[in-house]
Structure 1
Amino acid sequence: MNPKIIIDLNKFTDNLDYIGKKMKAKSLTLTHITKVYAADPKIVKAADENKYVDYLGDARIENIKNYPQVSKPKILIRIPMHSEIEDVIRYTDISFNSEISTIRFLNNEAKRQKKIHKVVLMVDLGDLREGYFDVKELHKAVAEIVTMTNIQLFGLAVNLTCFGGVIPDKGILQKLVDYKNSIESSYGLSLSMISGGNSSSLYLLDKDGIPEGINNLRLGEAIVIGKETAFGQFYDEMHHDVFTLSAELVEIKEKPSVPFGKIGMDAFGQKPVFVDKGQMLRGIVAIGRQDIDHLGLVPIDKRIEIVGASSDHLILDLTKCKKDYKVGDSVRFYMNYSALLRAFTSKYVNRTYIQQQYNMRNFFYKKGDRPIVLCHH
């Protein structure tokens, strides 16, 4: 039933294989982040069965709780809330942290549940999202953590590009390695995970730009869309249509391209601007902003143009289409990260899975064939 996300599990596995091989060649472990597809159990299962995936991670404890039975260690990558401490210990193996007060609660709960919980400390290297910014505060936290009975300091991690837009480079990541070396020598530790960021760090693999000592990357968007996110470059060797969106036409009528009357605010508090293109064959598909980021959609039929969207409707210009679309027909779209994230989050968007066989030699994109969508980290 439309609207629906069409999920190609074979293409998803191909993308994991391609990135996984690149990372293993550089002695890096792969944490696959499952949040963009809301930890869909069938997709999580495919990731868990992939030999190149070392860890599974998500920002939402609710997603991790709904994982199928998996063999890979589970990581909560968003800093835990105090109100979810019990679930963090019960359902995850590792959590990313930046507040010692939270780690104290984790230690107490891990003791109550008779578990050893691993923590990775986030370090802020300039993007100004989460993490220890002051080196003294970082060392003070480490000094307390090593005295805890049920917490193991597992490593350090940095997040870049997501908030401040800071592009990772060798110099920035070397600072994380320097912190690692300082902590290990000061406290007699051996840290297992030094995580050098997300899909925006991936471009450094091809430039020999990841310093020795970084041994992990956390990848979501690169796997599901087939691109690095520092500069938004697609990999020709990867699928860019692992996920596509299908929505159904509920109206097709010829109408003017500009509304009549005085223009005020739309339903989202914005004043829309229209270009007069004369009479237009307008189609409406049954999906809207409650379900999708329409700015992140690209029609697979290149002759279709997206006019705009309300809460429940996506307005299309079908004027230049060669296909004679009818009410009830489906229109398919590529999605960027933002559109994909919202579509999977919406309870009104269904899912269908395909595992068709295809000739690997024929899937590669020629220049200009790939979907052009807005970069979203």
Structure 2
Amino acid sequence: MNRYPRVVIDLHKVEMNTKLLVEKCSSNNLSIMGVTKAFCAEPRVVEAMVKGGISYIADSRIDNIKKVAEYQVPKVLLRLPMKSEIDDLVRLVDISLNSEIETIRAIDVAAGKLERIHKIILMVELGDLREGILPEDLRTVVDEVVKLDNISLAGLGVNLTCYGGVIPSEGNLGELLNLAEVIKKEYGINLEIISGGNSSSLYLIDEGRMPEGINNLRLGEAILLGRETAYGERVEGASSDSYVLEAEIIELKSKPSIPTGEIGMDAFGNKPQFEDRGVRRRAILAVGRQDIDPDGLIPRDPNITVIGASSDHLIMDVEESENNYEIGDILSFDLEYGALLKAMTSNYIGKDFIEK
């Protein structure tokens, strides 16, 4: 018997999405870092991405990178390293993204003890206001980096869209290339990686506007959900249903659409708002905010809608569905990225795999 709630992962679709994107990027001289954090680096999904042709395995957490140590593919730590994890970093990771010279010095010391050279990509702040060195401060950092014995400056990178929503453009990616050219001229370093962002940069390829010299993208959502993230458009030819959430109905009743009594805060400190739609048929599913983001669920039955959720319950309006649902029936949902991230992280959601 299947365990519910569960996420069903189609490994073949993940592999095919990866191949499609590898071909798209390689035709524009771009390698791909396959971002594995959304599914906690589950080895079977990583295997599908490796088969699809990714050049690097990239994750934000050392614990996830430990799961995929067996793969002979360079490992990249995406989140800036914590000083407390540097010993593991130099043992397990080939390349890390950095913006703090103090941390880089500590990596140099740890790498020296193991007689290793650790590669770094310096992240540059180009408007999104997450991690990154301000462009005017980059030379100061590089001045110190080139003096370190166990650090190799492998490249420059930029994060866009993830925090501030700033869209990659010929302008900001061109600025990244200009900084790489400065490093080449002033320090004689021909950087091997110029990483121009994530799935939000893909639209530049489609429009023929990806600046020449950007040679790497860090792709997660585009591979997993078949979507670019600048405008939320589908990647042509990619599957958007590699991941499907299934959850079981535990209550079916017709109830008013507005609560009775004075409205205060809900379990998450918000004061909810309700629309009076009369008495409606409602289904409660055995999954909640501890496991998923209800706003990121797309019901596969087009005639039902998500009303809301508490920690452990997802409440659906099924009044207009053509299906005569019963207790114990299973409802299926496609997932947006935030819902996928939470579902794959939750220990309370089963993970099942489709091989072909």
Q: TM-score, normalised by structure 1?
A: 0.92
**For structure 1, which runs of at least 5 residues remain unmatched after alignment?**
357-377
- SS of alignment partner, residue 49 of structure 1: helix
Partner of residue 191, structure 1: 191
Of 28, 31, 34, 1:32 maps to 34
- C-alpha distance in 1, partners of 2:306/2:187? 58
Structure 2 unpaired stretches of 5+: none
Amino acid corresponding to residue 255 of structure 2 in structure 1? K
Cα distance in 2 for partners of 1:259, 1:182 equals 63
Q: Deviations over 1:322-345 (max 9, x none)?
A: 111111111000110010011111
Instruction: Tell me by how many angstroms 1:256 deviates.
Output: 1.6
SS in structure 2 of the partner of residue 202 of structure 1: helix
CA distance in 1, matches of 2:69, 2:82: 23
The superposition leaves residues 296-315 of structure 1 with CA deviations (integer Å, 9 ceiling, x where unpaired) of 10110011111110000000
The question of whether the paired residues in 1 share the 8 Å contact of 2:170 and 2:211 is answered with yes
Name the CA distance, whole Å, in 1 between partners of 2:323 and 2:355: 28
* 1:41–1:68 Cα contact (<8 Å) kept: no
Could you tell me whether the CA contact under 8 Å between 2:222 and 2:235 is conserved in 1? no
Q: 1:68 to 1:146 in 2, by over 3 A?
A: closer
Q: Is 1:111 paired with 2:112?
A: yes
Superposed, 1:116-131 pairs within 5 Å as: 116-131=117-132
Aligned counterparts of 2:220 and 2:105: Cα–Cα separation in 1: 30
Deviates more, 1:71-80 or 1:137-146: 137-146
Say whether 1:156 aligns with 2:183: no
Equivalent residue, structure 2, for 1:202: 202
C-alpha separation in 2, matches of 1:106 and 1:285 = 48
Are residues 1:5 and 2:4 paired? no
Letter in 1 for 2:140: K
Tell me the distance in 1 between the aligned counterparts of 2:259 and 2:171.
54
Question: Does the CA contact (< 8 Å) of 1:248 and 1:328 recur in 2?
Answer: yes
Supply the distance in 1 between the matched residues of 2:135 and 2:175 (Cα, whole angstroms). Answer: 13
Q: TM-score, normalised by structure 2?
A: 0.97
Q: In structure 2, what is the Cα distance between the partners aligned to 1:263 and 1:172?
A: 47
Number of residue pairs matched?
354
**CA distance in structure 1 between the partners assigned to 2:62 and 2:257 by the alignment:** 46
2:253, 2:305 → 1: CA distance? 15
**Relative to 1, partners in 2 of residues 1:193 and 1:80: Cα closer, same or farther, differing over 3 Å?**
same
* Matches of 1:213 and 1:261, distance apart in 2: 62
1:50 to partner: Cα distance: 2.4
How much does 1:228 deviate? 0.9
Verify the 8 A CA contact 1:48 1:71 in the aligned structure 2. no
Measured after TM superposition, the shift of residue 235 of structure 1 is 2.3
Rounded to whole Å, the distance in 2 between the matches of 1:262 and 1:7 is: 43
- Check if 1:23 corresponds to 2:25: yes
Displacement of 1:280 in angstroms is 1.4
Q: 1:240-319 counterparts in 2 under 5 A?
A: 240-319=240-319
Measured on the aligned residues, the alpha-carbon RMSD in Å equals 1.0
The equivalent residue for 1:59 is 60
The correspondence of residues 339-358 of structure 1 with structure 2, limited to 5 A, is: 339-356=339-356
Q: Within 5 A, what are the aligned runs for 1:65-144?
A: 65-67=66-68, 69-135=70-136, 137-144=137-144
Report the Cα offset of residue 48 of structure 1.
1.9
Offset of residue 175 of structure 1: 0.8
What CA deviation, in whole Å up to 9, does each residue of 1:143-178 have, x standing for no partner? 221121111110000111111111111121111111
Residue pair 1:44, 1:68 contacting (<8 A) in 2 also: no
Question: What does the per-residue CA deviation read over 1:5-28, in whole Å, with 9 as the maximum and x for residues that have no partner?
Answer: 110001111111111111011111
Q: Deviations over 1:248-299 (max 9, x none)?
A: 1111112222211111111111111111222211111000001000001011
The answer as to 2:251 corresponding to 1:239 is no
Distance 1:159 1:243, change over 3 A: same
Quote the Cα distance in structure 2 between the aligned partners of 1:169 and 1:114: 40
CA distance in 1, matches of 2:128, 2:240: 28
Report if the CA contact (8 A) 1:6-1:352 is conserved: yes
- Match for 1:255: what amino acid? K
Structure 1 residues 320-359: aligned runs within 5 Å: 320-356=320-356
Contact 2:10–2:354, Cα closer than 8 Å, also in 1: yes
Q: Deviations over 1:93-147 (max 9, x none)?
A: 0000000100000000001122111000001111111111142x21121122112
Deviations 1:14-70 (A, max 9, x none): 11111111101111111111111111111011212323x111101111111122511
